[in-house]
Amino acid sequence: MTEYDYWKIFPRMPKKVKIGDITVRDGFQHEEKFVSTEAKKYYLEELIMAGCRDIEVTNLGNPYLMPQFRDAEELLTHVRSDRFKKRCAQKGINYEDICFTCITIRESAVDRAIELKKKGIGPDRVLMMVSTDEEHHFANSGTSLPDYWKEAERCIKKCSDFGIKMCGTVSTIWGSPISGATELKEAVEFTKRFLEIGAHDIEHADHDGSASAAQVYRYFSMILDEMPNPDLHLAHFHETKRVASASVLAALQAGITQFEATLGGLGGQPANFLDDCPTKGTGDYYYDDPRYVGLICIEDLLVQIDEMGIEHGYNVDRMLKLGKLMEKTMGRRLRSEAVINGRTLKEGHPKYARPGLKKVKEKFKEDAGQKFPKDWAPQAVLPEQYRAK
């Protein structure tokens, strides 16, 4: 007989997950308009009030390349302020449970994070990134892989000395927008290399939506077979073909317990245009139509996880309201379906019922709740040709 218990079929699948939000950094970096500092502060606060405990605040790279993040220091000052700490306490949130991350792709940004740490406003965690496709890596970082690995090794040592965690991102796991197909085993080796030089955790990234569910399950099974502590691993899926929810399910089945996403599915390559002015970013976009990039929507992801009965720690309804507000902030319809259609309510939607069913059943002398004719047998007798052999 078929086993119907999902957790027996996939014994590694968790009953509890951590979902980080990266809207204010990754989500906004692809926007071709400057998102106001006040709006960024608002969403940082409200995401935390809704249950987020792992949040990306900003990018500490050169604001000449990414002017969206010219307010980086102001945002860090805000989340480190006594006012915000007091608000957390009033809402019953342990401020020490929140992990604030900044992106620091190059050593100069890591040095900036350390200087901010000395001033008392630095991040808890920073991130450096490698791609298994060296062409993609060069487009993002401007240097070769061997040179970057040595830089990352230096930076991890620096961060360790100042109590900053380093996340190592491995990208182009399932394919590259520049060079095409890649080998999963290379990403496994890259993961080991990051851990070897002292990374705190690993973000496994599908930065262009190349992943398929079968390959996601295969890859994360390979990862957890060799490095079985799930706290080391974080899944990052982009949504370019509307299949990222399948990738999330496959990662869960493999045993992954940590994910990240953005409100409205925002995000993508750093913008090369801001307001009325071209900007450098990381050069030309990898996509023919830049509207169809971004991460999996956190609103939809939470509904998916919640309805599977997996614990996540968020107030889902509050997150759906934030998703609607984000559409107003962006001035356009975003990609979440859950903000429109809501959750699947166990009590249903009685307001949509058509009048008159009770009278029809009375007319036919049927009992309330009766679903089959009274002269039928209590159970169906399945014709022999349709029965299981």
Structure tokens at 63: 């604001």
Task: Show the DSSP H helices in 331-384 as ranges.
Answer: 338-341, 357-363
Q: Tell me, what amino acid is at 383?
A: P
- Per-residue model confidence as pLDDT tens digits over 166-206: 999 999 999 998 898 899 999 999 999 999 999 999 999 99
Q: What is the pLDDT of residue 288?
A: 77
pLDDT over 80 (residue 289)? no
Q: Which residues are bridge partners to 297 per DSSP?
A: 262
pTM: 0.93
Q: What is the mean pLDDT of residues 12-17?
A: 97
Residue 130 dihedral angles phi and psi, to the nearest 5°: -120, 150
- Per-residue model confidence as pLDDT tens digits over 103-118: 999 999 999 999 999 9
pLDDT over 90 (residue 70)? yes
Q: What is the mean pLDDT of residues 371-389?
A: 93
Contact assessment for residue 212 and residue 181, using Cβ atoms and an 8 Å cutoff? no
Q: Give 198's contacts (C-beta < 8 A, 6+ positions apart).
A: 153, 156, 157, 160, 166
Q: What is the mean pLDDT of residues 93-107?
A: 97
pLDDT over 80 (residue 290)? no
How many Cβ atoms sit within 10 Å of the Cβ of residue 124? 16
- Per-residue model confidence as pLDDT tens digits over 341-361: 888 877 877 888 899 999 999
Contact assessment for residue 295 and residue 27, using Cβ atoms and an 8 Å cutoff? yes
Per DSSP, 311 falls in state B
| Helices and strands, number each (H, E), in the chain | 15, 10
pLDDT over 80 (residue 43)? yes
Q: What is the pLDDT of residue 292?
A: 74
Helix (H) or strand (E) holding 58: strand 54-59
Strand pairing category for 201-206 and 233-237: parallel
How many Cβ atoms sit within 10 Å of the Cβ of residue 53? 17
Kindly provide the b/e burial profile for residues 208-231, where b requires at least 16 CB atoms within 10 angstroms of the residue's own CB.
bbbbbbebbbebbbbbbeeeeebe
Helix (H) or strand (E) holding 18: strand 18-21
Q: What is the pLDDT of residue 107?
A: 97
- Per-residue model confidence as pLDDT tens digits over 295-329: 999 999 999 999 999 999 999 999 999 999 999 99
Strand pairing category for 273-274 and 277-278: antiparallel
pLDDT over 90 (residue 291)? no
Average pLDDT, the chain: 94
Show the domains of the chain with their CATH numbers. Answer: 6-341 (3.20.20.70), 353-386 (no CATH)
SS3 letters across 210-264: CCCHHHHHHHHHHHHHHCCCHHHEEEEEECCCCCHHHHHHHHHHHCCCEEEEEHH
Q: What is the mean pLDDT of residues 87-105?
A: 97
Q: What is the mean pLDDT of residues 6-33?
A: 96
Residue 83 dihedral angles phi and psi, to the nearest 5°: -60, -45
Contact assessment for residue 278 and residue 272, using Cβ atoms and an 8 Å cutoff? yes
Q: What is the mean pLDDT of residues 26-47?
A: 97
Contact assessment for residue 98 and residue 76, using Cβ atoms and an 8 Å cutoff? no
Structure tokens at 51: 């249950």
pLDDT over 90 (residue 375)? yes
Question: Rounded CA gap, 73 and 126, in Å?
Answer: 14
Kindly provide the b/e burial profile for residues 2-29, where b requires at least 16 CB atoms within 10 angstroms of the residue's own CB.
eeeeeeeebebbbeebbbbbbbbbbbbb
pLDDT over 70, % of the chain? 99
SS3 letters across 253-302: HHCCCEEEEEHHHCCCCCCCEECCEECCCCCCCCCCCHHHCCECEHHHHH
Question: Rounded CA gap, 365 and 316, in Å?
Answer: 43
